[in-house]
């Protein structure tokens, strides 16, 4: 195909002038031309789509849209530190740290209230939920002697997996699972995981550690509290959770 400059510099011969004269007398249906143009555009887009799919092994649907919450925050350091967190509303915090000779301890203080979040002797890779009441009023405190990072995320499926109830999720280690739909009972399979703990969080500041039935007919079952919007799991090893729709069956320990 000629580019614009080539088209402008092209000399028209007498024969071409004659052809152009003939063509100029032909009546063109604008609707037909528009349909032809649209078909060409659709074909071009289809080629691009197929090429893009071939170049990618997986596409995360959440990555195709922007997150609805504020941009995440990231803090880095080594050893003891204090940091004011400029955030308001619910958030998910991700703590990481390498091994050290002293325990790693992380907590958040708001006024006279201090909430411990992580206390670990080994390497750290943990998630926790937290409700920031007013931006700039909460102070993060880190204790220990190791390099660390703390990330603050909005509660958004752009960053975390979601379960549409009824549904099941298989995890390995610490994770965050967002809940979509009406729910009642969560069934955990944690036989191959160690140090397993799960909490239910919600926009109203819920931070309830879940009671998971240890055995019997209700082994692994836990009733999710009203208002829960996401689950945080702390674990070493593989596990799974299946969330069921509301039903009449309520295992012991339910609320």
Please, what is the average pLDDT of the chain? 79
Going by pLDDT thresholds of 50, 70 and 90, the confidence category of residue 207 is confident
Is the Cβ–Cβ distance between 201 and 234 less than 8 Å?
no
Q: Stretch 68-84: mean pLDDT, rounded?
A: 92
Domain identity same for 165 and 239: yes
Q: Pick from 33-42, 130-139, 180-189 the range whose average pLDDT is largest.
A: 180-189
Determine, yes or no, domain membership for 183.
yes
Q: DSSP string covering 114-142, please?
A: EEEEEEESS-EEEEEEEEESSTT-EEEEE
Determine, yes or no, domain membership for 106.
yes
Determine, yes or no, domain membership for 148.
yes
Determine, yes or no, domain membership for 149.
yes
91 or 202, which is more confident: 91
**How many domains are contained in the chain?**
2
Q: Any idea what the CATH number is for the domain that residue 177 is in?
A: 2.60.120
Determine, yes or no, domain membership for 216.
yes
Domain identity same for 188 and 144: no
Lowest mean pLDDT among 28-32, 88-92, 142-146: 28-32
Range of the domain at 202: 161-243
108 or 137, which is more confident: 108
Q: Stretch 200-228: mean pLDDT, rounded?
A: 86
How far is the C-alpha of 211 from the C-alpha of 220, rounded, in Å? 9
Determine, yes or no, domain membership for 53.
no
Determine, yes or no, domain membership for 205.
yes
């Amino acid at each position: 195909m000629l580019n614009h400059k080539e088209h402008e510099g092209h000399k028209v011969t007498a024969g071409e002038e004659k052809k152009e004269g003939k063509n100029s007398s032909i009546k063109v249906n604008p609707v037909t031309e528009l349909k032809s143009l649209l078909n060409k555009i659709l074909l071009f887009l289809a080629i691009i789509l197929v090429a893009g799919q071939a170049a990618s092994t997986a596409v995360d649907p959440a990555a195709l849209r922007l997150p609805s919450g504020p941009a995440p925050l990231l803090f880095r350091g080594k050893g003891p530190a204090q940091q004011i967190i400029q955030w308001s509303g619910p958030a998910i915090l991700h703590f990481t740290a390498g091994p050290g000779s002293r325990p790693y301890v992380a907590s958040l203080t708001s006024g006279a209230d201090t909430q411990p979040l992580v206390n670990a002797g080994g390497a750290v890779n943990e998630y926790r939920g937290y409700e920031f009441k007013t931006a700039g009023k909460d102070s993060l405190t880190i204790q220990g002697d190791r390099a660390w990072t703390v990330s603050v995320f909005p509660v958004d499926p752009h960053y975390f997996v979601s379960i549409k109830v009824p549904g099941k999720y298989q995890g390995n280690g610490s994770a965050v699972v967002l809940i979509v739909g009406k729910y009642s009972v969560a069934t955990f399979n944690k036989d191959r995981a160690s140090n397993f703990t799960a909490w239910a969080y919600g926009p109203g500041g819920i931070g309830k550690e879940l009671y998971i039935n240890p055995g019997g007919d209700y082994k692994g079952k836990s009733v999710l509290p009203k208002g829960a919007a996401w689950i945080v799991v702390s674990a070493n090893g593989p596990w799974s959770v299946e969330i069921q729709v509301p039903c009449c069956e309520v295992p012991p320990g339910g609320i």
